Structure formats: structure tokens, C-alpha cells
Amino acid sequence: MPAPYAARPEQSRGRRHPEAPHPYRTDYQRDRDRVVHARAFRRLEDKTQVFTRRYSDHFRNRLTHTIEVAQISRTIAAQLGLEVDLVEALALVHDIGHPPFGHAGEKALDAAMRAHGSFFDHNLHALRIVEDFELRYAAFRGLNLTFEVREGIIKHSRDCSRREFPELSEYLLDQRPPLEAQLIDLTDEIAYNTADLDDGYEAHILKLDDIRAGLPVFNRFYEQAEARYPEVREKLKFNEALKAMLDRMVSDLISTACRRIGDAGVKSLADVRACPTRLAAFSDEVETERLQSKSFLHEKLYYSDALRPEKSGAERVVTELFDYWTARPESLPPSYREQTAREPVHRVVCDYIAGMTDSFILRHHQELCGNGGSAAL
Ligand code: MG
């Protein structure tokens, strides 16, 4: 039974190019299916989340991370009576605009664009992918997704102001997005805050004692696992603690969102949109734990000495190829060369690089710039 404040498909503001309804799939189910069948979605398999394949081939990549976010999001959405298919479509599309090499790649691409007076933002890039770059249909460019999925792509992690992004004014920038979109940034954090502890520990970069000392919530669950399973090996107790941590965040998000919806007197999607603040949130206590996990991972994993060579290698590969193609636009593939007639060269090169997988960009770097920067990748 959907909640009265769910974003029901029959309330959708529709698609840019009107299409006949499908006989047995709702518009949000079709959007989810369109994302799954997109080329950009398949490329997530070969894009770094935190660790490149050099470490292990059983660590998360951006595709398996995306599937974890979708799983967590579906569970929470169902409990809140939200539109599960819309939540799933938004979860599956949420990282589609990420360039190769995770945050190092994004940082390098953004820095390269800033030198040209512009910038790179993965959510805006995701919108360009689904609106323009995916070529699957005879009748239109892009995936022709519903308004709510496109809106969710740009608004899931933050509100965008009209002054900052005048080109996005069609997306009701003075209103909150539906709860289905508000969830995604938080489920993304639940997924990676736990998964990165797991992979960081398996990679022997994070030590159990450091995690226990740095994250009191993890330590509490680890002690419970030790008391309950004194004989099992450390990793199994670690898994129990991590699972309990994930469960705590999920349950807290459900109960806190419920409470805030009740407190705000929200009874419809219009009420969700008109609310001055977002309704999807953690409690103060779990929010403190979330911030602790985030800063712990920043310090001990993302910016650790162990990952530094990969990071600088990734930045160098992206920067050198960006410079190579902006200086030689005639060596871009034909479709991108044509695009330079309509858009500045740096924007075209940025689009080309942002779409690449890790292996594709490494192959091009080796071919065009030599092997120097990619040795650590
Ligand atoms: Mg993500």
C-alpha cells in the first residue's frame, strides 16, 4: 500500500517526448529498465569505486556499489511506502556520470576544466548522458526518462539554486525533490561507509584495532560479536559488526524519516516538495556516527599513503590525455570531432574522458602519452 506522500507514476510530469503507455510496465519501471540497458550503465563495471583491480578482483567496483545502493534503497523505500521502482531507477543511475578512477579521476577532470573557466560535476554529466549521449531510440536522443528521474539525478545529493544553475530551471529548483530522490544520497553513504571499511580491511590498509579505536559504534558491535562467537576467526566477527552497523543506519533512516514526515504533517507529494527542509535524514546520534565513519575513511583510507601512488597516477593519466586532445582535437574520434563545431573543445574532451572506463583510458594513455603515469594502476 503506497504512502500518500509517495511519488506515484500516475502523478509523473512525464517525458520530454510523449510516448504511449506500456501495457504492463509503469513509467518508473520502464525508466529503471532503460537505465539497466544503457551503455553508460554497463561501463560502471570497469570504473573504480575506491580500489582499482590491481588490489583484488573481488572488491567493489562502481557497478557492484550501485547494486548495493539499489538493494538498500529498495528496502528502505518499501518500509516507508514509497515508490520502489522510482527509487530503484534513481539508485541504478546515481553514479552513471562518474569518470574513470573514482574521485581522483573526477578531481583531475574538474581541475582541467577549471583551467578553461568551467568545471566538471558528475551529476550534471549524468544528466547529459541520459538526455543526449545515449543513442538507443529512433525517435529521440537520450533515454527520454521521466521528469522525476531526471530531477532526481541532479537533486539527489543537494539542492541546486536557480542562480547557480539557470539552465536547470525546469527542475523546480525552489522545491525539495520527492522522498524517493532524497533517500539516494543517504543510502549511497550507508553503502560505501560500510563497504569501504570491508574492502579497506581486506586490502590490509585498515587495521582492526584502528577501526575499533576510531569508530565507537563499530567497536560496540564487534564486542557483541566476540561475546556471541568467541571461537570464529576475526573476519567473521568483523562481518557481523559491519552488518549490524549497516542495519543500524538503515533502521535509523526509516524511523527518523517517518518521524519527520509525521512532525511536518506531510500528507502528499506536494507537501514533500513544499517542505523547507529534506525529510529523509538520520537521527542526531547516527548522524554523528556517519560523520565519524566518513572522516575515518578519508584519513585512513582515501588519503592514505597506500593509495597515494594510484591516486597520483590516475590524476596524471586524466590530465595528460585532457591536454593531449585539447591541443589536438583533430585526433578525437569522428563523433566527438563533429561536436567541436557546436561546443568548446575542452567540453567535448571532458565528455569523451568522463565516459571512459579505467581500462579504456589506460589503453589510450599508453598509446598516446607513453606508460609513465599509469604504472601504479
Ligand atoms: Mg555512489
Query: Does residue 128 sit in the same domain as residue 249?
Result: yes
The alpha carbon of 126 is separated from its chain's Cα centroid by a whole number of angstroms, namely 10
Give me the phi and psi of 217, to 5 degrees please.
-65, -40
The residue range of the domain holding 83 is 9-308
Is 375 part of a structural domain of the chain? no
Query: Does residue 313 sit in the same domain as residue 290?
Result: no
Query: Does residue 81 sit in the same domain as residue 203?
Result: yes
Query: Does residue 91 sit in the same domain as residue 196?
Result: yes
Instruction: State in Å: Cα 367 to ligand 1 middle.
Output: 31
123-171: pLDDT as tens digits:
999 999 999 999 999 999 999 999 999 999 998 777 777 777 878 888 8
Number of domains in the chain: 2
Place of cell 560535476: 121
Rounded Cα distance, 90 and 270, in Å: 20
Instruction: State in Å: Cα 309 to ligand 1 middle.
Output: 23
Counting Cβ atoms within 10 Å, is residue 8 exposed (0-12), middle (13-18) or buried (19+)?
middle
72-86: pLDDT as tens digits:
999 999 999 999 999
291-314: pLDDT as tens digits:
999 999 999 999 999 989 888 999
Query: Does residue 24 sit in the same domain as residue 97?
Result: yes
Counting Cβ atoms within 10 Å, is residue 311 exposed (0-12), middle (13-18) or buried (19+)?
buried
Ligand 1 ion: Cβ-proximal residues, 5 Å cutoff: 95, 188
Domain C-terminal end among 308, 327, 342: 308
Instruction: State in Å: Cα 65 to ligand 1 middle.
Output: 7
236-251: pLDDT as tens digits:
999 999 999 999 999 9
Query: Does residue 227 sit in the same domain as residue 343?
Result: no
Instruction: State in Å: Cα 68 to ligand 1 middle.
Output: 9
Residue 376's pLDDT band, with cuts at 50, 70 and 90, is low
Is 23 part of a structural domain of the chain? yes
Q: Any bridge partners for residue 146, and if so which?
A: 15
